[in-house]
Chains A and B, each alone.
Chain A
Amino acid sequence: MTVLPPQITTWFSTRGWTIHPHQQQMLDLAKDPCQLLIAPTGGGKTMAGFLPSLAELADGTHQGLHTLYVSPLKALAADIKRNLRTPVDDIGLPIRIEDRTGDTTATQKKRQRADPPHILLTTPESLALLISYEDAPRMFAGLQRVIIDEIHALAESKRGDQLMLALSRLSTLAPGLRRVGLSATVEDPSAIARILARHPDPCQILQADPGPDPDIQMMHIDEDPPWSGGGGRYAINAVLDQVRQHKTTLIFHNTRAQAELFFHALWFANDDQLPIGIHHGALAREQREKVEQAMVRGDLKAIVCTGSLDLGIDWGDVDLVIQVGAPKNVKRLVQRIGRANHRYNAPSKALIVPANRFEVIECVAALQAVREHDLDGDPRASGPLDVLCQHILIRACAGPFQADDLYAEITSAGAYADLPRPTFDRCLDFCATGGYALRAYDRWQRLLQRPDGQWQLRDPRGTQRIRMNIGTIVDADKLKVRMQRSRGGAPLGEVEEYFASTLRKGDTFLMGGQVVRFETLREITVEVSKTPSKQPRIATFMGTKFATSTQLSDRIIKMFQQDDWPDLPHHTRDWLHLQRRISRLPQRDRLLVETFPHDGREHLCAYGFAGHNAQQTLGLLLTQRMEEMGLHPLGFVCTDYATLIWGLDVVTDPAPLFQRDDLVATMDRWLSENTVMKRTFKQSAIIAGLVDRNLPGGRKTGRQATFSTDILYDTLRKYDPDHVMLEITRNEAMRGLVDFGRIEQMLARIGDRIDHVPLTRVTPLAAPLFLEPGRVPVAGLADQRLLDEEAARLMEVAGLSALAK
Chain B
Amino acid sequence: MNGHLFTFANAALTALPSGALWWEQECLLCVSDLHLGKSDRMARRGGPMLPPYEVLETLDRLSSDIAATAATHILCLGDSFDDLAAARDMAPELTDRLASLMAARRWTWIAGNHDPGPVDLGGTYRAELALSGVTFRHIAIPGETAEISGHYHPKARLTARGRTLSRRCFLVDADRLILPAYGTYTGGLYCDRPALSALMTVGAQAILLGTPPRPIPMPRGDG
Binding site for B on A (CB under 8 A): 433-434, 436, 438, 440-441, 443-444, 446, 459, 461-462, 465, 501-502, 504-505, 521-523, 689-692, 702-708, 711-712, 715-716, 718-720, 723, 777, 783-784, 786-791, 794-795, 798, 800, 803-804
Contacts and interface: CB of A to CB of B under 8 A. Distances in A.
Contact of B158 (A438, A705, A707, A791): A791
A708 B162 CA distance: 23
Given A436-B52, A715-B53, A791-B158, A703 B187 contact: yes
Interface in B44-62: 44, 46-54, 56-57
A504 B162 contact: yes
B56 to A, nearest CB: 6
A787 B160 contact: yes
B109 interface: no
A709 to B, nearest CB: 10
Given A720-B51, A720-B53, A704 B158 contact: no
B211 A784 contact: yes
B39 A440 contact: yes
B168 to A, nearest CB: 11
Contact of A790 (B160, B181, B187): B160
B43 A444 contact: yes
27 contacts: A433-B49, A436-B52, A436-B53, A438-B52, A441-B52, A444-B46, A444-B49, A505-B159, A522-B221, A691-B48, A691-B50, A692-B48, A702-B189, A704-B152, A707-B188, A711-B185, A712-B50, A712-B51, A720-B51, A783-B165, A784-B210, A790-B216, A791-B158, A794-B216, A798-B217, A800-B203, A800-B217
B211 A436 contact: no
B158 A804 contact: no
A704 B164 contact: no
Interface centre among A436, A444, A784 (most CB of B within 10 A): A444
Contacts of A804: 6, 205, 215
Given A459-B46, A702-B193, A719 B56 contact: yes
B51 A716 contact: yes
Interface centre among B6, B44, B162, B193 (most CB of A within 10 A): B162
A798 B46 CA distance: 49
B219 to A, nearest CB: 9
A462 B189 CA distance: 30
Contact of A708 (B43, B56, B158, B187): B187
Contact of B186 (A704, A715, A784): A704
Given A459-B46, A718-B57, A795 B40 contact: no
B120 to A, nearest CB: 19
A459 B46 CA distance: 7
B181 A704 contact: yes
Contacts of A461: 46
B187 A704 contact: yes
B184 A711 contact: yes
A787 B188 contact: no
By size class, the interface of chain B is 35 or more
A768 to B, nearest CB: 21
B91 interface: yes
Contacts of B50: 434, 690-691, 712
B187 A438 contact: no
A719 B52 CA distance: 9
Nearest to B163: A777
Given A707-B187, A787-B160, A444 B44 contact: yes
B184 A715 contact: yes
A794 B207 CA distance: 12
Given A521-B164, A704-B152, A784-B210, A795 B215 contact: yes
B157 interface: yes
B192 interface: yes
A293 B108 CA distance: 69
Contact of A521 (B51, B157, B210): B157
Given A462-B46, A704-B188, A787 B214 contact: yes
B48 A786 contact: no
Contacts of B57: 715, 718-719
B170 interface: no
Given A704-B152, A784-B211, A523 B193 contact: yes
Contacts of B40: 440, 444
